[in-house]
Amino acid sequence: MDIAVIADPAARAAHAADLVEELLTGRAEPVLGVATGASPLELYAELERRRERMPRGLGAFALDEYVGIDPRDPRSYAGVVRDHVTVPLGLDPRRVHVPDGRAADLAAACRAYEEAIAASGGVDVQIVGIGTNGHIGFNEPGSSFDSRTRVVELAASTREANARYFDEPSEVPTHAVTQGIATILSARRIVLLAAGAAKAEAVAAALEGPVDPACPASALQRHPEVHLVLDPDAASQLRGVAASSVRG
CA nearest 126: which of 203, 225, 211, 42? 225
Whichever of 77 and 113 has its CB closer to ligand PGA, that residue is 77
Whichever of 72 and 164 has its CB closer to ligand PGA, that residue is 164
Q: Annotated catalytic, 162?
A: no
CA nearest 193: which of 78, 29, 79, 37? 37
CB proximity list for 43: less than 8 A, separation 6 or greater? 13, 16, 17, 20, 127, 193
Q: Which residues of 171-206 are buried (b: 16+ CB within 10 A; e: fewer)?
A: ebbeebbbbbbbbbbbbbbbbbbbbeeebbbbbbbb
3-state SS class at 220: helix
Whichever of 112 and 182 has its CB closer to ligand PGA, that residue is 182
Q: Annotated catalytic, 135?
A: yes
Q: Give the other-Cβ count within 10 Å of 81's Cβ.
A: 26
Distance of alpha carbon 180 from alpha carbon 118, whole angstroms? 14
Binding site for ligand PGA (CB under 6 A): 37-39, 129-131, 135
The CB-nearest residue to ligand PGA is 37
Whichever of 33 and 37 has its CB closer to ligand PGA, that residue is 37
Whichever of 30 and 134 has its CB closer to ligand PGA, that residue is 134
CA nearest 203: which of 134, 143, 128, 126? 134
Question: Residue 164 CB, nearest distance to ligand PGA (Å)?
Answer: 9
Question: Residue 39 CB, nearest distance to ligand PGA (Å)?
Answer: 3
Q: Annotated catalytic, 140?
A: yes
Question: Residue 104 CB, nearest distance to ligand PGA (Å)?
Answer: 28
Q: Give the other-Cβ count within 10 Å of 169's Cβ.
A: 11
15, 133, 162, 231: the catalytic one is 133
Question: Residue 130 CB, nearest distance to ligand PGA (Å)?
Answer: 6
Question: Residue 92 CB, nearest distance to ligand PGA (Å)?
Answer: 26
Q: How would you classify residue 145: left for phi > 0, otherwise alpha for psi between -120 and 50, otherwise beta? A: alpha
Q: Annotated catalytic, 160?
A: no
Q: Which residues are catalytic?
A: 64, 133, 135, 140
